[in-house]
Amino acid sequence: MQIKEPVKILDVPIHPFTMDEAVSALENSIQNGTQAFVVTANAEIIMMCQQDNEYKKIVSQSAEIVLPDGAGAVWAGRHLGYKIPERVAGFDLYCQLLNKAAKKGYKVYFFGGSPGIAEAAKAKSEELYPGVQIVGCRNGYFKEEESSQIIAEINASGADILFAALGAPKQEKWLEKYRSQLNQKVLMGIGGSFDVFAGKMERAPKWMQDASLEWMFRLYKQPSRFMRMMALPKFVLKVVFCGKKA
């Protein structure tokens, strides 16, 4: 798997891939039998790395591919003088990989979300991507001591791709902790993507996505995210005043 040299945004490496390049790199990993741990890093995740050294180490040193998910990450990279071709949103990458899986016969496992959500996302995925093989589902409510059993179930499914919807940073920390025991070739945390497919969460209209206003739509739909959204102005200020020092 050939990986582009990353750029650094607040000392977090970001690989400046296009969506097509990201999909190609991950598909190569499946075909070559190598494991790729991918993180889609938006401004909120980059800011989490500033406060959580364990998380920063995972994103910076363990993940093979870290993608610019969100207008904030793209803006920051360009502001710092890097060539960031486009936003590679985690939800869109998830959809692209499901599409590839349907066409190429790759097997997929859904892990995470509230009880019943992964199953609802599976049903929607099968409707949108006829032929896709989602070989197992497991909700995200579990005790740590259950992890061995969960890993055994995931591996027994024969999945090539594992999507973990546990929320950041939990999903990346879980995947990193157990990646040596997981047989899947693509490991990816996808936050609330199952919720969108299950109809529990609505995604911003395309025009808002294109106008970099998806954050506003999320805040409108989920006012409880207000405190989390405060990471965005802090991110902008940190990039402007400290970015070149990182």
Residue with the two structure tokens 């919720």? 195
pTM of the model: 0.89
Residue 99 neighbours by CB distance under 10 Å: 15
Q: Alpha helices of the chain — where are they, by DSSP H?
A: 19-32, 43-51, 53-57, 71-79, 90-104, 117-128, 147-156, 170-178, 193-197, 206-210, 214-221, 226-229, 231-242
Q: Would you state the pLDDT for residue 128?
A: 97
Q: Would you state the pLDDT for residue 233?
A: 82
* Domain ranges within the chain, ordered by starting residue: 7-197
Q: Are 173 and 58 in contact (CB under 8 A)?
A: yes
Q: Would you state the pLDDT for residue 226?
A: 47
User: Which DSSP state fits 203?
Assistant: P
65-68 vs 107-112, strand pairing mode: unpaired
Phi-psi region of 180 (alpha: psi -120 to 50; beta: other; left: phi over 0): alpha
Report how far residue 84's alpha carbon sits from residue 82's, in angstroms, rounded to the nearest whole number.
6
Per-residue pLDDT tens digits for 163-196: 999 999 999 999 999 999 999 999 999 999 999 9
Q: Would you state the pLDDT for residue 23?
A: 98
Report how far residue 125's alpha carbon sits from residue 66's, in angstroms, rounded to the nearest whole number.
25
| DSSP bridge pairs for 8 | 13
Report how far residue 61's alpha carbon sits from residue 103's, in angstroms, rounded to the nearest whole number.
32
Q: Would you state the pLDDT for residue 62?
A: 97
Give the residue from 8, 42, 36 showing the smallest Cα distance to 22. Answer: 36
What parts of the chain have a pLDDT lower than 70? 1-2, 201-204, 207-230, 244-246
Give the residue from 101, 108, 118, 26 showing the smallest Cα distance to 63. Answer: 26
Domain boundaries 7-197, corresponding CATH code: 3.40.50
Q: Are 178 and 37 in contact (CB under 8 A)?
A: no
Instruction: Tell me if residue 53 falls in helix, strand or coil.
Output: helix
Burial class of residue 38 in the structure, from the number of CB atoms within 10 Å of its CB (0-12 exposed, 13-18 middle, 19+ buried): buried
